[in-house]
Structures are given as structure tokens and as C-alpha cells.
Structure 1
Amino acid sequence: MWRSGSDAGAIAIGVVVEVPTPGTAVKHPEALGADLWRTDEPDLDEPRTGIRLQEIRLTSQEGFLPRVVVKADLALSSASIITMPNGTVFPLDATQANAMERLWGLTTSQSLPALPGASEGQRKLMSHYRRERSNTLRLKKLAEVRARHGKCVCALCGIDDSSKYPRQLSERIFEVHHLLPLATAATPVRTTLDDLVVLCASCHRAVHATSAVEDNYAVLAGHLRGES
């Protein structure tokens, strides 16, 4: 999966789980994100392909693969993903696909020599599932809270983005929390702004300290109100 724009690069890998199917016949139409298109949505009968994402790396800290690294690879420098960046689907031949997998870190590395202490920093593919979340909803929720209060405020502890942190950091510390955890959903669900709250990073971490997320939220809210 390739992200375009100024921060272009590979951000996810996955496998096809549903062959191209008319949009009106897909298994989970609610997952098509009809309300998230910036322009008119394509014809509903246009074929859609179901892809299960296996690993997502959205930031450099998570190990996302930037375009500049892909372009510098001899096997990929002439690939359409580099030469025709305005496209939407980029076929890779076998050599290019192998190069992309190598850059992502899917190839087996040689064993490191035994040294005192522990070996760290070696990139390894960790196969796991991660619930997809809408960044558009996140931004809308943050904007809603700022419009209501004139600043970002944690719904639990009440800290705001001007009381403790410098401006260049304050916009990064507030996160959006789902009141009904997505992890409990058996199928994709439709989320509205009323299903979300804005929390500071510390409260959000505390709420997710255990799998009992809803109970944790209630306990922390009571604790901060002096009820426990």
C-alpha cells in the first residue's frame, strides 16, 4: 500500500481476500468509506478488491518505507511507482517485487555474532491484525473540541494544549478514543463523532492499560473526580 504526496512511501502490506467485485456486491459495504471521499464517489458498480492489511507503518518510527529509499534502489528506480507517481495501481515485476520485500524487511537476515548483552534493532516482520481507523474522523473530532472550547481539552483529566506543553508539541499529545472499542467489533462498524472523545496521551494510555477498556475509562473518570 503506497501513500502519495509529500510524505510518499510504502505504508502497509496485505493479502487479497476478495477478488474484484462490483461495489454493490462486496461483503462489507460499510467499509468502503463512502462518506470519506473528497470528490464524488466512483460508480458503485465499479469493481473493488478486498485487501486484509497485515502490517501497517504510518510513521518513520514505525518503519514506513519512504519514496526516496525506494527510488535509490537500482531495481526499483525505473518502476512505475517512481516514474508515474500520479497513478493509483503500480504493477511490479518479480525483480521489483523482491526488491520491495527486501526494503520492507521481509527477507531473512544472517544471524548476528554472539555478543555480551542483548541484540536489538534488527528489523523483523511481526504478523498481526490492526483495526483500521479513520484519520478523517480523528481530525474532525479534534476540530470539534477546539471549536467548542477554544483549545484541545482532555475529556478525563481536563488538561489543555496550552497549560503544560510548548506550542510545537501540544498538537501532538492529544488522541482520539473510541468509547466503544473497535477491538470488540466482529465486523467493520460505522463511527460518528459522538462515539469519540479526545484524551491526552497519558489518560489514553491508562484507559488501554488492560483489555477492559470501557471499565478502565469509568474507573479513571471516577478517580479524577475524586470518587475513589
Structure 2
Amino acid sequence: MSEERNGREAWARLDLERARRTGDPEVVYGEGKTPDQVVALLRRLRAAHPARAALATRLSDDTMTRIGEDLPEAVVDTVARAATLGTLPKPTGTVAIISGGTSDQRVAAEAALTVRCFGADATRINDVGVAGLHRLLEAKPEFDTADVLIVVAGMEGALPSVVGGLTGVPVIAVPTSVGYGASFGGLSALLGMLNSCAPGVVVTNIDGGFSAGVHAARIARRRPE
């Protein structure tokens, strides 16, 4: 492991060996870090892994602004609240990210960007929630050809079950914290997805777009050439 030192105690220890162990480099989790810290960590990761884009997630408005100022070569995704520094890898395999509604877009965008950073292609299928099933059925030919599906939904979290009943493609369900009071910040969606009666559905934590993206990309990358 490496240490960030500035004549003071180390404030961050980057796992620069992660890429060797797992095939994927460490990512900067921006929440709780200052803009200066995120910029410094992105630079360190980029220098350590010049062949791979460095990724920072869960960024504040101030941090996104600072990245744009200090790292003009970085690409900031204001919807995903994330940034990449460096060239994205050549994609292998395809992941379709299906989202229930516009309010789920931040999590869906985080998942899609993570998929691309971790070496797979990402296709977005937006606003196909269960309140209008005709929209989902119209999109079926598109997601049937993917290697993996990430299904992002809030409210009662029914969308992954419906998708799992329509296709044999593996489904990674992501509950979001979108919903009214009885949704309990995504807990209702989480429990609904965990209790899905459709086979082949696995579930991440609430708002876990990054986790779903990593998992899906690793599956898609293993597709035979």
C-alpha cells in the first residue's frame, strides 16, 4: 500500500496493488473527502495505472467544480456525480442498465459509468417503470441481447422481478432511496427485490450503482471473444 504524506500523518492509503490482485484498480469514494483530497487521489491513481482511467464517485458540487478547474483533462459526469481521469478501456461484453424513472437516474448513471470504467459497454434504457409496462415490453428486444442487466428502481422495487420474468439474462437489482414515506429511504425496494419470485435476480445495497457496475462489468468481460 502507498501513503499520501505531506510532512504530516498519512491521510489516505491507496491500494495500488488492487489491480494486480483483482484486475481492477482502486476507486476514489468522494463522499466525506475534501476537493483537494479527491484531486490528489485521482492524480495518484492515474499515475500508478496510466493504462486505465481513474474513477472518483459520490462527488459534491464543490469537488466536481474543483476537478474541472484543476484537472481539465478529466471528464465530469454531473448526473452520476462522478469523474474519470484518463482513457476508458476498450469494452468487452455489454451491460444494459434499465431504470424505472427519471428520479433513479443518478444511480443508473453511476452504474453505467462504472461499467465503462471497468471494461464493458453500457447501454441505457430509461423510464420503463412498472406503472407503464408497455414501455418495458417495447424495450425487451434491446435488453435481451445484453450479457448482464442492471435494473435500478425505487418505490416498491418491483421492476427487477418483472424483468427477471421476461428474460434469461442475469439481473442485478439496485434499489434506490426514491419514494414516499413508507419506502423508508429505499428499504421497501430492497426487501421487495430480495424477495423476488423471479429466478436469477441478485441485489445490491440501496443506491449501490457502483457495486452493481463493477459486478456486471466483471461478468461481461468474461464473455468469450
TM over 0.5: no
TM-score of the superposed pair, with normalisation by structure 2: 0.24
Whose radius of gyration is greater, 1 or 2?
1
TM-score of the superposed pair, with normalisation by structure 1: 0.24
Structure having the larger proportion of residues in helix? 2
